[in-house]
Amino acid sequence: MQNLINPYKTMFLVRFVSYRPIIHRLIFQSPLCFSPSRPFSSSQIQNSDEINLVNYKDWLSPNEVIKIFQNLKNPNSALTVLNQISKRKDYKPNEAIYNVVVKNLAIAKNFDAIETLMEKIKFERKCRLSDEFFYNVIKIYGHLAGRINRAIETLFDMPNYKCWPSVKTFNFVLNLLVNTKQFDVVHKVYIRASDLGVEIDACCLNIIVKGLCHCGELDAAYKVFDEFPKQKCQPNVRTFSTIMHALCERGRVNEALGLLERMEKEDVEPDAIVFNTLISGLRKQGRADEGIEMFKKVMLKGCDPNPGTYQEVLYALLDAKRYLEAKDFMAVMIDKRVNPSFESYKLLIHGLCNGKLLADLDWVLRQMVRHGFVPRMGMWRHILGCLFPPDGDCCTAYSDEEILAD
């Protein structure tokens, strides 16, 4: 009896086999099917501006959500698309998704939508964000949108997102205020560092020094030196160079030189920027010879000069009317692949002509053209006037003002 085939069982198997394609289509190809293994198609992702994401039944992974935003034809629609996706049961917000949405809105310059998104994130509280996320948002407000006040508000609003700013983000806002010359706001933000749990560092104090120097408060900038040990910091080369630059701009070069001595006492190694500042300050005070001597000391100390250092020394030689030395120094610069400025070529040619040192003109002109500078008409007139003086007296045809203004 066991070997006999049950007729009902046989009938069921036959019918099952015959209906199997239909059953397969109903189960696996129905639009209502839950199929986490089937990804969002590339054509749908590319046209994600138009598709109805609320009624789309397939599972969307976070990576697929990010691809949707990366392929938006209209970046301005990013917030609308996010609102659609956020209604889905499979939606799990994370920082990467918010980052790409903010990036799209920044490209579209829709800064109001970014503010709306930030309020949405704070209200929903579904995702914790990092300091780096807020740093990027503040940077967009400050650099792209020009919304400085919004950048400050975002900094102080970070704890409401359960995120505390790093000293990097805090210093970015301070520097933003200094660069936009909002010096009265800098101190208000600075004194609230402890409210945000930010520990003041040397970079932060240097920004304060820069702000004070920009608004001419040099005495106050000096007092910031006293703040460094209180904050367990030490002034660095940037602290000194900032104050030196401000002093030299106001003709207080001797005070700037005094700071150089203080650097040596405090074991702060001066760099090329420090020496550039001092040489420039000396030159502008008519003390070009002292600037040249300082450059010699720089070389003896083993400090590596940068292109700016060479250019300042060249200007100092030209100011001192040491034209042959300037020509030789220019040759050293070119040998070190440091290109002299057009202004220095013009000044040297003018000086050689006035000093009747015409034998050296050919080399200077060749170097000038070789480095991409074209002598202007006034310069040619000056040179020809020296080579072929109308009254036998070199360089009397045109005034210095006429030549240098060309």
Q: Is residue 213 part of a domain?
A: no
Cβ count near 61 (within 10 Å): 13
What pLDDT is attached to residue 36? 37
The answer to whether the CB of 178 falls within 8 A of the CB of 207 is yes
Q: Provide the 8-state DSSP code for 398.
A: S
Number of H helices, E strands in the chain: 22, 0
d(CA 91, CA 102): 18
Domain span at residue 364 reads 338-386
Q: Is residue 364 part of a domain?
A: yes
The answer to whether the CB of 352 falls within 8 A of the CB of 327 is yes
d(CA 354, CA 382): 9
pLDDT by residue, tens only, the chain of 406 residues: 444 445 544 454 445 445 445 444 444 443 333 333 344 444 454 455 555 665 666 788 888 889 999 999 999 999 999 998 888 888 889 999 999 999 999 999 999 999 999 999 999 888 899 999 999 999 999 999 999 999 999 999 999 999 999 999 999 999 999 999 999 899 999 999 999 999 999 999 999 999 999 998 999 998 998 889 988 999 999 999 999 999 999 999 999 999 999 998 999 999 999 999 999 999 999 999 999 999 988 887 778 889 999 999 999 999 999 999 999 999 999 999 999 999 999 999 999 988 888 888 889 999 999 999 988 888 888 888 887 776 655 554 444 444 445 5
d(CA 346, CA 379): 8
Q: Is residue 362 part of a domain?
A: yes
d(CA 270, CA 267): 9
What pLDDT is attached to residue 360? 87
Q: Rounding to the nearest 10 degrees, give the CA dihedral for residues 394, 400, 405, 406.
A: 0
Q: Is residue 382 part of a domain?
A: yes
Q: Is residue 380 part of a domain?
A: yes
Sign (positive or negative) of CA dihedral 362, 363, 365, 369: positive
Q: Is residue 355 part of a domain?
A: yes
What pLDDT is attached to residue 6? 56
Cβ count near 352 (within 10 Å): 23
Sign (positive or negative) of CA dihedral 26, 32, 35, 38: positive
Structurally, the chain folds into a number of domains equal to 1
**DSSP H helices in 231-322:** 237-249, 253-265, 272-284, 288-301, 307-319
CA angle 336, 337, 341 (to 5 degrees): 115
Residue at token pair 């919004």: 150
d(CA 80, CA 82): 5
Single-letter residue type at 221: A
Q: Is residue 286 part of a domain?
A: no
Q: Is residue 307 part of a domain?
A: no
Kindly give, in sequence order, each residue whose CB lies less than 8 Å from that of residue 371, ignoring residues fewer than 6 positions away.
334, 339, 340
Closest residue by Cα to residue 155 from 143, 199, 178, 139: 139
